[in-house]
Every structure is written in structure tokens, then in C-alpha cells.
Amino acid sequence: RNSDPWTSNTTPMKRSCLALLVLSLTLAAAFQIDSSKISVSGLSAGGFFAAQYFVAHSAELCGAGIVAGGPYYCAQGDMTTATTDCMSQPEMLDLKTYINAADRFASEGKIDATSNIRSKPVWLYSGQQDYTVYPGVVKVGQQFFEHFNARIGSEYGVESGHCLATKGYGNDCPTSFTPWINDCQYSAAEKIFEHIHGPAKHSVQAPADTYEFDQGKYTEGSPQSISLSQTGYYYIPPQCRHNGTDSVDGNSTGTACGLHISFHGCNQGATVLGDEYVTKTQYLEHAQARDIIVVFPQVQMDLFMNPSGCFDWWGYTNEDYAVKSGPQMKFVERIISTLRRGAEL
């Protein structure tokens, strides 16, 4: 008689262990990320950070959307430069400095080779009434990516202020004040996804619920130590879930989906706006229409190092802020790595 509980076909122990194994495999395969469709975007400080993350991880990412953000390494580790030259003095910006910095960091192995930017889609936006981050700053950012032969899309013709433009929600288009989401009858999120990921696959519908996640799982210390909130948000379109029963088309497709990370601007985190940036910027609707999972990392204010609650594009975390080893850069990389395994955050 075989009394080994691991080889017997009838023991409760084996049945329980097999059940746990099946459960763990099911959870691990909750969804599948198409690694060729990972992208980033952001507004203002989030736009600078999106450019920063895309340049550093250009081998892994397929594209970027930059709204009211400037060139990579614009601030050069200096807050004064960030809040003057990089926002309202485009004539002071030296394109060669930013190109040389990217090439130097790449040669030192601190970021991916800049050759990876070639042919990848980058979409840039600046409103004609934006007097916070001047259109000229964004155009220097465009020149940076043109130098590396990115596939450029841009929009400088909308009469908007400093904002993320939407169709049907927010302040009057030419204004620049909280929540920095304006009704311009123009959806920046739609244009970002269209340029990077192509036309919609499904009709645009109201999204399902978003999920919260503990950002502390992806930081080396407390998230607050690098000015991150405890809680972030993400959205998984129903059709992206494996073994599900509902989708935007009524079928369970379990399709491999893209992944997009959206970085909010200063004073736009959940500690200020609640979920307004997450739910009202129209990222969710247009991501769902293209089979894309979206993550919304959250920064919070820190009186001493980050009083306006911005992502770090000038060096308040440490001098490595613009390369892969930067604290917030590693945080985002860990989020992407987790989702690429098909695991929930």
C-alpha cells in the first residue's frame, strides 16, 4: 500500500495542495501584458517625468505622450532651473546639453541606449494659452526627440491653458487653474493613445471600476520618504481579464493587453483632487477601447522637498532622479514588472 501523501491519488493533503496550486496559477494568469505595448504619458511635471522615464527605459517602452512637458534632463538637478528656464524661458534652453546628457548616461549604462528611441511614437501637446509651461519649452522637447528620430505627433493649435484637455469635462478651455482639466472639445488622452497604439478596437464606453493598490509594496522605504502617497490606482478593462465572462463586446477574450502609466501634474494627486484625475481625464474610456491597462501612480505634497506634489524631474529625491536608479524611477519599474507577470498590484 502506498502511504506517501504526495503520490497517493486520494489523500486530502494532495487534493488540497493541488487545489492551491491551481488557484495560484489562476491568479498568476489573471491577465497578460503584451510587452510590445507598454507606454507612458503625463501632464506638466508628469509630462517631464514621462519623458524622463521613456528615455531611460526606451528599450522596453513603445511610446510616450507629453502634455505641457519639456526635454529630458531639462532641470539638470536644479529646482531653480526647473521653475524658470524649463517652464517660462525657452530661449534659455540648450538642446545640446540635454542630448549630451542622455548620450552620456546611456554610455555609462544608467539608461537604455538612445538608439532605442528611433521610430518610436512620441506625442506632444501645448495649449496656445499656456503661460505656465510655455509652448516653446515643449517644442524644445520635440526637438530632443526629433534628434533621436522618434516618430513625432504634436498639437499646438488648441486655445487651451495649462491643462489636460478633454471632450466635455472641466474648466473653460483657455483657463489655467485647478483641477487643470479643461473642456476643450478635444481629448488629449484619445490623441495620445491613437498616436502610440493606433485606432480604437471597440466603441468608447463608460469604464468599469478602478482598483486601489499599496504603493509601499514597490518602494524601498516608505512611499512617503520619496513623496509618494500610500495609495495608487489602476484600471483593467474587462476584456483583458483571463477566465472572465464579460468584456466590452460581451465575450470573454482574455486578450493580451497593452499597459500605460499616466503621471499626474503638480497639485493633481489624489490627496488634492481625490480620483478626479483618474476618472475624468478620459484615459479610462480610450484605454478600454484599445485593450490597455492603465496605472495612475500618486505623488503627495511634502512641505520640505516637494510642496506642490510633483513627480521628481529636478532631483528632490536624489541626484539619480533622471536615470534608472532614481527612487521614483525604480518604483515605476517595479510596478511594470509586476503587471508584466500577470499579477495584480
**279-322 pLDDT, tens per residue?**
999 999 999 999 999 999 999 999 999 999 999 999 999 999 99
pTM above 0.85, yes or no: yes
Of the listed ranges 21-35, 60-74, 170-184, 227-241, the least confidently predicted one is: 21-35
pLDDT of residue 285: 96
Q: Residue 315: how many CB atoms within 10 A of its CB?
A: 18
pLDDT in tens, 233-291: 999 999 998 754 444 444 445 789 999 999 999 999 999 999 999 999 999 999 999 99
pLDDT of residue 242: 79
CA–CA gap between residue 198 and residue 233 (Å, rounded): 24
H/E run at residue 206: none
Asked whether the predicted pLDDT for residue 11 surpasses 80, the reply is no
Whether the Cβ atoms of residue 51 and residue 71 lie closer than 8 Å to each other: yes
Whether the Cβ atoms of residue 30 and residue 254 lie closer than 8 Å to each other: no
Q: Residue 304: how many CB atoms within 10 A of its CB?
A: 7
Q: Which residues pair with 39 in a beta bridge?
A: 63, 260
Average model confidence (pLDDT) for the chain? Answer: 91
168 burial type by CB count under 10 A (0-12 exposed, 13-18 middle, 19+ buried): exposed
Percent of the chain with pLDDT over 70: 88
Asked whether the predicted pLDDT for residue 178 surpasses 80, the reply is yes
13 burial type by CB count under 10 A (0-12 exposed, 13-18 middle, 19+ buried): exposed
H/E run at residue 166: strand 164-166
